[in-house]
Structure 1
Amino acid sequence: MTDDKALRLRLAERLAERGYLRTAPWRAAVETVARHEFLRGGFFERTDTPGPTAWRPVMPDDPRWLERCYDDESLVTQIAGTISPRDIQGEIMRSPTSSRTLPSLVVGMLEDLQVEDGHQVQEIGSGYSTGLLCARLGDDLVTTKEVDPDVSASASVALAACGYFPELVVGDGLEGHPASAPYDRTIATCGVLELPYAWVEQTKPGGFILATLCGWLYSSELARLTVGKDGTARGRFLGGQVSFMLVRPHLPPDLGSLPDLDAADEQPTTVGANVLDDWTTRFVAQLAAPRTQRLSLERDGRTEHVLLDVGASAWAALAQNDRGAWTVRQGGPARLWDSIAEHVTRWRSDGAPGLDRFKVTVTPEGQAVSWSRV
């Protein structure tokens, strides 16, 4: 038995023990697909140095490389949109833009996709998950679309090394791939602010769409929707605090210069910025302001929590006074914090239902998310 075969069997056993790997066909796929082939170009690991987050490359000649490929962790494979591990000696302090997602998340999603033999699948984002789909269904039933040509080329090489030759397409995944539609299943291994209607159009009635809905406050949830005969997709969140990198057209813009945070009067607010520390409450807040970014500043001896919607030119700055009460200053054409506070207050008045009680609907007019009262 080769070392990587033993590692694949160990990974499958661990995922099964933890409840992510639940059926025999997907277990066979995990035991078959060589994840390290998708990491031949190395990966980045986070350094432990103080200060801003830094990354250093781990290449195949590193004695830790092979075993790390089969750990249940996400491995960053690209920084700043173009930089791969082979491009760096030392460290780099930029943001990751591509990764091989942790196997438990990938496998759990594939189980939730509920595929059956003969199903044709459209995948948004190419990589290890593509190999698992090919092993489970056959590569002739898999279409995978990747926006980054380099990532697609790397995935193609890895898939070929595993013996798989699915339809690989380079382009904007938000558009899907209508040429090979309709599909029985559509799955996205990236996050989206709003599920595109193109995916609904390209999925058969009765078929499933599995995607992670996100926002720029970085709370995200996995949703499974069923496409109806009327062309509307409806579904619910599956839970579990799923997190993916956002699809590139949905990445937040640079903040640029901050607005004058003293250009508005302080007002009391019964909903403070501390509500954003809770994952579910932050997700609810994000529904009211999906394109809002958050940062903290130390000003005049206190911490200010600043929220910015760059596109809408709206902002809010929250802080606690000496008595611990929250205040807010707001500027721009929209009252950003008022919208968030109203949404959170209404959700709480409905009994603060869990995300499994939320409904997602996608029509040609767009996406809507609602919840049921407790």
Structure 2
Amino acid sequence: MRGGFFELVNGSVPTAWRPVLPDDPRWMARCYDDDSLVTQVAGTIVPADVRGEILRAPTSSSTMPGLVVRMLEDLQVEDGQKVLEIGTGTGYSTALLCHRLGDDLVTSVEVDEGVSTRARTALGQAGYAPRLVVGDGLAGHKEGAPYDRLIATCGMLTVPLDWHEQTRPGGLVLATLCGWMYSSELARLTVHPDGTATGTFLGGQISFMLARPQTPPPLGTLPDLDDGDERPTRLGADLDDWNTRFVAQLAAPHAQKITLAREGRTEHVLIDVETGSWAALHQDAAGRWLVRQGGPEPLWDAIEGHVQRWRQDGAPPLERFTVAVSPQGQHVTWPTA
């Protein structure tokens, strides 16, 4: 964080960020906090570029040090193993891998050239020289394959096939699976000789910024939310519970959720831009949830049915789910009652 970081402006609506630069007396103490620090917003803007506040979304950060260490422990790396890291960021986790294994066994891929350049400088100043690659981390780095371990410090909708194709049979892939409703879980997958990979979630409600190629598209013009037949639903649209939201987005991984104030009430709207399907939910005066749906597929029917089946099976925790990735796709399942 030699170039500073952004801190959240408390109470700002919409969310605002202000820079904290190295000449700020808070800078050093915050760098040693066990906290995530935003280091870039809007894809290109770093703290030194801003005076005052900025209303843009974060695009790069330094991960909470405690989480970095936890993930490296979960990676179960051993002496002599070759590791591919997806998402160099500030280079902090890259430095820890180099310290553990040696520079020659560490490759790190970063999509943003500016971020990679700053990490290279910081790593060099700390005495480390791993192989740093600028490119799409979702494609891995075939030239250095095969790897014994692969770790990703960004979220994704699906684990790319390229990753386990570039990992030795018996090797491990550690990645955070997410959806556009932003509930996510850390998965550890074992790669098999037939090119498939299977594993489980490790728990802890871990979240990362999504890999840039998998960020949600703009919503564009909203559909006519008065279309469609209205019906009661037992599942509330707030989906405040982390596990429930994760199960919901398994049924609709490309649905984005927004909240609108309309006609004197709060409406929760889910939209799948790709298919054009949508659902709008609100509570009536008695507190009952009502839903209207439109588009080619009944979006809320899929979500409601998936969550109900999970609850009928005893609502098992996410750590008991199974993740399987193959050329036929990615499947996440839970044990049935």
Structure 2 unmatched ranges of 5 or more: none
Q: Which residues in structure 2 correspond to 1:259-338 (within 5 Å)?
A: 259-274=223-238, 276-338=239-301
1:71 equivalent in alignment to 2:33: yes
1:42 equivalent in alignment to 2:21: no
Shift of 1:214: 0.2
Higher mean C-alpha deviation, range 159-168 or range 250-259? 250-259
Partner-residue secondary structure (3-state), 2:336 = coil
Shift of 1:51: 2.5
With structure 2 as the length reference, what TM-score do the two structures score? 0.98
Alpha-carbon RMSD across the aligned residues, in angstroms, is 0.9
Q: 1:168 aligns with which of 132, 135, 154?
A: 132
Q: 2:45 aligns with which of 83, 100, 118?
A: 83
Shift of 1:239: 0.2
Partner-residue secondary structure (3-state), 2:208 = coil
Against the structure 1 CA distance between its residues 316 and 64, is the aligned structure 2 distance closer, same or farther, given a 3 Å change threshold?
same
Counterpart CA distance in 2 for 1:67 and 1:120 is 34
Shift of 1:373: 2.5
Structure 1 unmatched ranges of 5 or more: 1-38
1:369 matched residue in structure 2 = 332
Shift of 1:108: 0.5
With structure 1 as the length reference, what TM-score do the two structures score? 0.88
Shift of 1:49: 4.8
Q: Which residues in structure 2 correspond to 1:1-374 (within 5 Å)?
A: 39-126=1-88, 127-274=91-238, 276-374=239-337
Counterpart CA distance in 2 for 1:218 and 1:112 is 22
Partner-residue secondary structure (3-state), 1:285 = helix
Counterpart CA distance in 2 for 1:101 and 1:51 is 24
Counterpart CA distance in 2 for 1:51 and 1:338 is 32
Q: Which letter maps to 1:197? A: L
Deviations 1:187-214 (A, max 9, x none): 0000010000100100000100000000
Q: Which letter maps to 1:206? A: G
Deviations 1:39-76 (A, max 9, x none): 11110011125432111111111121112111011100
Partner-residue secondary structure (3-state), 1:323 = coil
Q: Which letter maps to 2:184? A: S
Shift of 1:100: 0.4
Shift of 1:270: 2.3
Q: Which letter maps to 1:81? A: G
Deviations 1:230-274 (A, max 9, x none): 111000000000010000001111112211100112112222213
Counterpart CA distance in 2 for 1:321 and 1:61 is 53
Counterpart CA distance in 2 for 1:96 and 1:271 is 32
Counterpart CA distance in 2 for 1:160 and 1:112 is 27
1:26 matched residue in structure 2 = none
Aligned residues: 335
Partner-residue secondary structure (3-state), 2:45 = coil
Please identify which structure carries the higher helix content: 1
1:31 matched residue in structure 2 = none
Counterpart CA distance in 1 for 2:125 and 2:329 is 40
**Identity of paired residues, percent?**
67
Deviations 1:109-156 (A, max 9, x none): 001000000010000010211011001110110000000000110110
Counterpart CA distance in 2 for 1:139 and 1:47 is 38
Following TM superposition, the consecutive aligned residue runs of length 4 or more in structure 1 with deviations greater than 2 angstroms are 48-51
Q: Which letter maps to 1:319? A: H
Partner-residue secondary structure (3-state), 1:108 = helix
Counterpart CA distance in 2 for 1:311 and 1:130 is 36
